[in-house]
Amino acid sequence: MTMIELQNISKWYGKFQVLKDCSTQIAKGEVVVVCGPSGSGKSTLIKCVNGLEPIQKGTLIVNGQSVSDPQTSLPQLRAKIGMVFQHFELFPHMSVTANLNLAQIYVLGRSQDEATEKSRSLLQRVGMIDHAEKFPGQLSGGQQQRVAIARGLAMDPIAMLFDEPTSALDPEMINEVLDVMVELAQEGMTMMCVTHEMEFARKVAHRVIFMDEGEIVEDTTKDDFFGTPRSERAQHFLSKILHH
Amino acid sequence: MFSDLDFDVIQRSLPYLGKGMLFSLGLTLLAMLGGIVLGTLLALMRLSSFRILRLPASGYVNLLRSTPLILVIFWFYFLVPIAVKYFSGNSYAQGIGPFHSALIAFTLFEAAYYCEIIRAGIQSVPAGQSQAAFALGLTYPQAMVKVVLPQAFRNMIPILLTQGIILFQDTSLVYVVGLTDFMGAASKIAQRDGRLVEMYLFAALIYFILCFSTSYCVKRLQSRISPPR
């Protein structure tokens, strides 16, 4: 079953075309890694999926609903898709638990108690239960990102989007976040991850999408991508970020 | 010339001056409250992606910010009754009285300034915060009320209070429509008893003490509010 489908997506910032005719699809339970040089449009592409960035051309269907259709309620659609950002974006004026509870209460209509129970079980899962009453500013980057993942999961999402979840982290904190993501992937969560962590891609990805200059240059299985990427640009990219 | 100063006049008129001070403080607080509420709405309008909301708000703010406060007070005191008479066709229609017209004038005038402060405050909250709120499924009003505005106001508290101190000083202008605020009370006693020097020195001292100590507290507060991240 197709969960996310992109059909010929194009997007412009003024005259500059950031996305050029991008098409792909992600099936339920599939883990897809999106990589490519900086400025290639990866983050823009992933933000289009839940309508944070509007598209100018093409069709984007998530769980059977068109994202750009004015009839579609974006808040309701977004509530079903978790998103994790490069800079965590926890709400600094709220405790960790309140961060997780907020949308459960105001979007899903859960009671305070139900929400807190759910939040605590997720904090347990990402190893942050001891920090439940702290504020984001008191946590390390890796801890904040684990809380951010738990916040996304608290909405019982049908898919999770990750926008460079480890690139703002100090090296020693990257693994604690990747471990949570690997676990999630192994449990069968549908995931679209923009990341440069090729080890993560090797371990859990089903497919790899390689983007350059707003185009999807390569969209293949993980084994093909790491074995014999067809395009020269992907080969060049891989040679630069691997074996160093 | 200072030999015949009589500072007893202050003590004798303290109750009257106190009533004036309460009036000044009340007017300041009401106009501040109204100005912040209206200013927040104007700021949201100015930041809207819809021209139809943005244009009137920026027109309003630019007009009010280019107009002297005393003129706005006069508008509401002298011109509004004329307009009411004209539009209602009732030549006996009354104005809304000096207090209400002053309160409306101050609120509307301050709203223009608060709007700009609040707009800057909202823009100081990183765009990622509202994106994260939207990504969780919050609607625009929910994202504003729960996520963006609390952070914006927290950043803005010192400058909002500073604007309040300026407003407190400006309320002394209400004497032009015959209201008795602290300045008006001091002025009336000064002229009745011929004690201009004593009363105006005293008024200056009180304004200085109040405004300076509040400014000092705001400064302390500002250094205590640590940046949220």
Predicted pLDDT at B1: 54
A42–chain B Cβ distance below 8 A for any pair: no
Q: What is the pLDDT of residues A11-43, one digit of tens each?
A: 999 999 999 999 999 999 999 999 998 889 999
**Which residues in chain A have their CB less than 8 angstroms from residue B154's CB?**
93
Predicted pLDDT at B226: 56
Q: Distance from A239 to chain B by nearest Cα, in Å?
A: 32
Q: Distance from B29 to chain A by nearest Cα, in Å?
A: 26
Predicted pLDDT at B229: 45
Question: Interior CA angle at B125 toward B120 and B129, to 5°?
Answer: 150
Instruction: Out of A50, A91, A108, name the one closest to residue B129 (CB).
Output: A91
Per-residue pLDDT of chain B (229 residues; tens, 9 = 90+): 566 777 788 888 889 999 999 999 999 999 999 999 999 999 999 999 899 999 999 999 999 999 999 999 988 888 887 887 788 777 666 667 788 888 999 999 999 999 999 999 999 999 999 999 999 999 999 999 999 999 999 889 899 999 999 999 999 999 888 889 999 999 999 888 888 888 899 999 999 999 999 999 998 888 777 554 4
Predicted pLDDT at B88: 76
Q: How many CB pairs under 8 A join A and B?
A: 70
- The DSSP code for A139 is S
Contact assessment for residue A185 and residue A204, using Cβ atoms and an 8 Å cutoff:
yes
Predicted pLDDT at A136: 95
A138–chain B Cβ distance below 8 A for any pair: no
Predicted pLDDT at B228: 47
CA distance A52 to A54: 6
pTM attached to this predicted model: 0.86
Query: Residue A29 contacts by C-beta under 8 Å, 6 or more apart in sequence?
Result: A188, A189, A190
Taking Cα atoms as reference points, which of A61, A48, A68, A33 lies closest to residue A191?
Answer: A33
Flag residues of chain A having pLDDT under 50: none
Q: What domains can you pick out in chain B, each with its CATH number?
A: 13-225 (1.10.3720.10)
**ipTM score:** 0.93
Predicted pLDDT at B93: 64
